[in-house]
């Protein structure tokens, strides 16, 4: 059996752990630069605030309904996620961290255990130790455990936020309940095509022929069908290195000059390089993009990107920044007001198995230099040592007008309890 453990409204729940006065009140968490809604409490969902809603467009609704808004506090969310995952690892020998707020657990060999009671025990311990509410779904396959989890979350009063699909009758009932667009792995385009062919729910989907699904949805769609039929196809995956790494940001103001953008691009490239070194990999391709504010219809729009194939694999901040600047110079057009930029490194290969070229390779001196920089930054603070092109004298900050304290990772921001 598999279990999918999903933290309920995770970002909003993290904020509530240290602000219990917000329980029962609408809470939303905003994206970088306080742009869009990326998390909502149940109370906020009832106000019909959609995911991805631009904050400035919904500000009036926030004010009229007493919605509490928070800037993204990823230091807090990451630490709280780590605490939840640590607890989960004590319950099952195999755990796959699927996202910051979700994990699959493998319960093979637990046939004599009452899984519903096990789920309740997990939920109770996580709530006690972290304050984060979770929903848990058990089933024979990962795809079915996703559905079981959705049922547990949708009907907490009936299920106590734990649901087990342990019979064919429960499986069929769950498939008939779940609409096709909510099936794990069925995207917008596939759901539209399926609806055009009379498929309204997951049960209709598994009635489709294997040939039609394979022809229209590839082998991935066929695997999904088998999973929903109860055939175990997907297993617990071990942690793998990322296939691409991106660092992108919206700016607190609009930039108009190449020098302004160059500083940002160098900073993003350096961040990508640091992440490559952290997982002991190198990249062979760098992509740079810039674009204007598409919400400002009164301004001319520009959206451009450049893909640079590197002459050699590298994870040096110096080299990746150099190539990123070359890409920026190719795409920059004067006369526009740019609001967002980013660097994406791709074609990632292991650091110890990079193919060497005859005429040009990464500077071997950079390896020891980057190792030293990373060590210093980890010991005395992030971004203390950086490239000169990042302009250490300038303070670049995201717009975070509603940022909560980093309660668990910053000693001078730890929660304070007042007593008489």
Confidence class for position 409, pLDDT limits 50, 70, 90: confident
Mean pLDDT of the chain: 91
Which pLDDT does position 33 carry in this prediction? Answer: 78
Q: What is the pLDDT, as a whole number, of residue 230? A: 95
The yes-or-no verdict on residue 143 having pLDDT over 70 is yes
The domain boundary, picked from 164, 183, 216, lies at 164
In percent, the amount of the chain with pLDDT more than 90 equals: 74
Q: Are 144 and 174 in contact (CB under 8 A)?
A: yes
150 lies in the same domain as 174: no
Q: Is 306 found in the same domain as 220?
A: no
Which tens digit of pLDDT belongs to each residue from 69-93? Answer: 999 998 899 999 999 999 999 999 8
> What is the per-residue pLDDT for 394?
52
Stated pTM of the model: 0.75
Residue 84 lies in a domain: yes
CATH number of the domain where residue 214 is located: 1.10.150.20
Indicate whether 159 pLDDT > 90: yes
Once rounded to an integer, what is the mean pLDDT over residues 321-329?
96
Both 208 and 299 in one domain: the answer is no
CA distances from 205 to 6, 19, 176, 186 (A): 25, 43, 10, 10
Q: Left (φ > 0), alpha (ψ -120 to 50) or beta: where does 324 sit?
A: alpha
Please indicate, yes or no, whether residues 54 and 147 belong to a single structural domain of this protein. yes
**Among residues 113, 144, 164, which one ends one of the domains?**
164
CB 270 within 8 A of CB 387: yes
Q: Is residue 76 part of a domain?
A: yes
* pLDDT of amino acid 416: 80
Q: Are 380 and 312 in contact (CB under 8 A)?
A: no
Query: Are 92 and 220 part of one and the same domain?
Result: no
Predicted pLDDT at 297: 87
Q: For the chain, how many structural domains are there in total? A: 3
Q: Is 236 a domain residue? A: no
pLDDT given for residue 165 in this prediction: 97
What is the domain range of residue 205?
168-228
User: Cα(26)–Cα(48) distance, rounded to whole angstroms?
Assistant: 11
If pLDDT is split at 50, 70 and 90, which confidence band does 381 have?
low
Task: Tell me, yes or no, whether 83 and 58 share the same domain.
Answer: yes
Q: Does residue 393 register a pLDDT over 60?
A: no
Asked whether residue 355 falls in the same domain as residue 288, the answer is yes
DSSP 237: P
Tell me, what's the pLDDT at 116? 95
| pLDDT, average across residues 138-142 | 96
Question: What's the distance, CA 80 to chain centroid?
Answer: 14
> Which SS3 state, helix, strand or coil, does residue 333 take?
coil
Residue 286 confidence (pLDDT) above 80: yes
Q: Which residues touch 45 (CB under 8 Å, ≥6 apart)?
A: none
pLDDT at residue 237 greater than cutoff 90:
no
Q: Is residue 357 part of a domain?
A: yes
| Residue 316: inside a domain | yes
Asked whether residue 392 is domain-assigned, the answer is no
pLDDT classification of 145: cutoffs 50, 70, 90: very high
Structure token pair of residue 272: 């990508």
Answer yes or no: is 27 within a domain. Answer: yes
Please give the pLDDT value at position 411. 82
Q: Looking at the structure, tell me whether residues 78 and 104 fall in a common domain.
A: yes
Residue 326: φ, ψ to 5°: -60, -40
Supply the pLDDT for residue 398.
63
Q: Which comes out higher in pLDDT, residue 250 or 226?
A: 226
In-domain check, residue 332? yes
Among 148, 164, 180, which residue terminates a domain? 164
Whether residue 48 is found in the same domain as residue 83? yes
Q: For position 378, what pLDDT does the model report?
A: 81
Co-location of 132 and 219 in the same domain? no
Determine the pLDDT at residue 45: 95
3 state DSSP class of 107 = coil
Task: Note whether 10 and 150 are same-domain residues.
Answer: yes
The pLDDT of residue 167 is: 95
Q: At 17, which CATH number?
A: 3.30.70.270
Burial class (CB in 10 A: 0-12, 13-18, 19+), 338: buried
pLDDT (0 to 100) of residue 391:
64
Residues 277 and 293 in one domain: yes
Specify the pLDDT at position 357. 66
């Amino acid at each position: 059996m598999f279990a999918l453990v999903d933290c309920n409204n995770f970002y909003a729940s993290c904020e509530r752990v240290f602000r219990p006065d917000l329980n029962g009140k609408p809470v939303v968490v905003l994206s970088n630069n306080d742009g869009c809604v990326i998390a909502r409490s149940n109370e906020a969902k009832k106000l019909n605030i959609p995911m991805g809603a631009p904050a400035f467009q919904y500000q009036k609704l926030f004010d009229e309904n007493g919605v509490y808004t928070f800037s993204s506090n990823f230091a807090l969310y990451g630490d709280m996620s780590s605490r939840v995952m640590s607890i989960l690892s004590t319950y099952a020998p195999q755990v796959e961290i699927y996202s910051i707020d979700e994990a699959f657990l493998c319960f093979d060999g637990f046939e004599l255990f009452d899984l519903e009671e096990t789920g309740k025990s997990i939920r109770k311990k996580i709530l006690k130790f972290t304050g984060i509410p979770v929903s848990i779904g058990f089933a024979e396959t990962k795809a079915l455990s996703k559905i079981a989890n959705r049922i547990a979350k949708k009907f907490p009063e009936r299920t106590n936020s734990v649901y087990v699909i342990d019979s064919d009758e429960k499986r069929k009932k769950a498939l008939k309940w779940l609409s096709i667009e909510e099936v794990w792995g069925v995207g917008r385009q596939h759901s539209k095509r399926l609806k055009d062919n009379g498929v309204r729910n997951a049960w209709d989907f598994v009635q489709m022929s294997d040939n039609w699904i394979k022809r229209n949805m590839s082998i991935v769609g066929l695997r999904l069908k088998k999973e929903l039929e109860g055939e175990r196809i997907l297993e617990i995956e071990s942690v793998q290195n990322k296939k691409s790494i991106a660092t992108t940001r919206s700016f607190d103001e609009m930039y108009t000059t190449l020098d302004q953008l160059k500083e940002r691009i160098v900073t993003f490239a350096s961040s990508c390089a640091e992440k490559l070194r952290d997982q002991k990999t190198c990249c062979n391709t760098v992509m740079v993009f810039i674009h204007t504010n598409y919400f400002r219809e009164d301004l001319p729009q520009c959206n451009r990107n450049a893909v640079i194939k590197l002459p050699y694999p590298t994870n040096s901040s110096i080299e990746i920044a150099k190539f990123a600047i070359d890409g920026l110079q190719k795409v920059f057009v004067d006369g526009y007001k740019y609001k967002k930029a980013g660097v994406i490194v791709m074609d990632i290969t292991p650091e110890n198995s990079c193919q060497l070229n005859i005429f040009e390779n990464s500077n071997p001196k950079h390896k020891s230099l980057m190792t030293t920089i990373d060590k210093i930054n980890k010991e005395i603070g992030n971004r203390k040592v950086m490239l000169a092109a990042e302009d250490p004298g300038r303070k670049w900050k995201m717009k975070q007008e509603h940022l909560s304290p980093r309660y668990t990772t910053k000693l001078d921001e730890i929660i304070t309890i007042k007593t008489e």
